[in-house]
């Protein structure tokens, strides 16, 4: 069993640091205490096996908003076994109330910042949605215009087909009439040649 006495300096009071230290003992067999000092530092006294204590140190020597541990000094000693469990040593009631209020203010500020970021993201998503809708409307307009062109092209094709059919019919009748006239003339010529004694 080992023991360390540590002093955390930085933004460690009125930011819920003692509760964080306390929470980090739950999965470790550690006893001792954590308490605020009058000079703004936090003192931690912990006893346990060395592996648990080193993991504990890594978990509480942190910069994790709103906690900022700027320095963390440790003095190793032999364990005394004087602590049955780990506890938070509280100060005067007024000081503790102010600390809770400060921490609650930090939490509310953090929530407000996150809410603002969330609203910004929603605004961006809404803007993207509007732009996508505009592109969709423009695509629909192009599709309508393409459909109109397709209808007009189909109408022109129908009219062209009708004209071709009509032209074929007119041409056939004209050619039939011409061939009938030519046939009559050939018959007349053939008859005239026969009367003149010329065999064709």
pLDDT the model gives residue 159: 85
Contact 85, 31 (CB under 8 A): yes
Give the residue extent of every domain in the chain. 2-91, 92-171
**What percentage of the chain exceeds 70 in pLDDT?**
95
63-64 β-sheet, strand order: 63-64, 67-78, 2-11, 42-48, 31-36, 86-89
Pairing mode, strands 86-89 and 67-78: unpaired
Contact 66, 8 (CB under 8 A): no
Lowest mean pLDDT among 36-45, 77-86, 190-199: 190-199
Pairing mode, strands 86-89 and 31-36: parallel
Q: What is the pLDDT of residues 18-35, one digit of tens each?
A: 999 999 999 999 999 999
Q: What is the mean pLDDT of the chain?
A: 87
Contact 8, 69 (CB under 8 A): yes
Query: Which one is catalytic: 9, 14, 18, 100?
Result: 18
Contact 72, 61 (CB under 8 A): yes
d(CA 117, CA 107): 15
Whether the upstream peptide bond of residue 117 has omega within 30° of 0, thus cis, is no
Q: Is the pTM of this model over 0.75?
A: no
pLDDT the model gives residue 63: 93
At residue 73 the predicted structure's pLDDT band, cuts being 50, 70 and 90, is very high
Query: Which one is catalytic: 3, 29, 36, 61?
Result: 36
At residue 200 the predicted structure's pLDDT band, cuts being 50, 70 and 90, is low
Whether 59 shows a pLDDT value over 90: the answer reads: yes
Q: What is the pLDDT of residues 173-189, one digit of tens each?
A: 877 888 788 888 887 88
How far is C-alpha 190 from the geometric centre of its chain's CA atoms?
A: 95
18 is catalytic: yes
d(CA 80, CA 6): 16
pLDDT the model gives residue 109: 66
Whether 46 shows a pLDDT value over 90: the answer reads: yes
CATH fold group of domain 2-91:
Alpha-Beta Plaits (3.30.70)
Lowest mean pLDDT among 4-8, 91-95, 136-140: 91-95
d(CA 8, CA 185): 129
């Amino acid at each position: 069993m080992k023991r360390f006495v540590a002093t955390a300096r930085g933004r460690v009071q009125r930011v819920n640091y003692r509760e964080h230290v306390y929470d980090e003992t739950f999965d470790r067999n550690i006893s001792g205490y954590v308490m605020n000092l009058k000079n703004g530092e936090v003192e931690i006294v912990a006893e346990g096996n060395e592996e648990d204590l080193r993991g504990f140190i890594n978990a509480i020597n942190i910069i994790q908003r709103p906690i900022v541990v700027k320095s963390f000094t440790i003095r190793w000693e032999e364990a005394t076994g004087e602590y049955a469990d780990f506890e938070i040593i509280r100060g005067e009631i007024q000081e503790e109330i102010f600390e809770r209020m400060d921490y609650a203010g930090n939490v509310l500020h953090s929530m407000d910042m996150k809410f603002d970021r969330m609203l910004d993201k929603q605004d961006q998503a809404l803007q993207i949605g509007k732009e996508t809708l505009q592109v969709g409307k423009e695509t629909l307009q192009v599709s309508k215009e393409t459909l109109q062109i397709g209808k007009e092209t189909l109408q022109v094709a129908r009219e062209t087909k009708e004209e071709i059919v009509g032209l074929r019919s007119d041409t056939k009748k004209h050619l039939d009439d011409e061939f009938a006239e030519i046939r009559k003339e050939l018959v007349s010529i053939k008859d005239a040649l026969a009367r003149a004694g010329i065999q064709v």
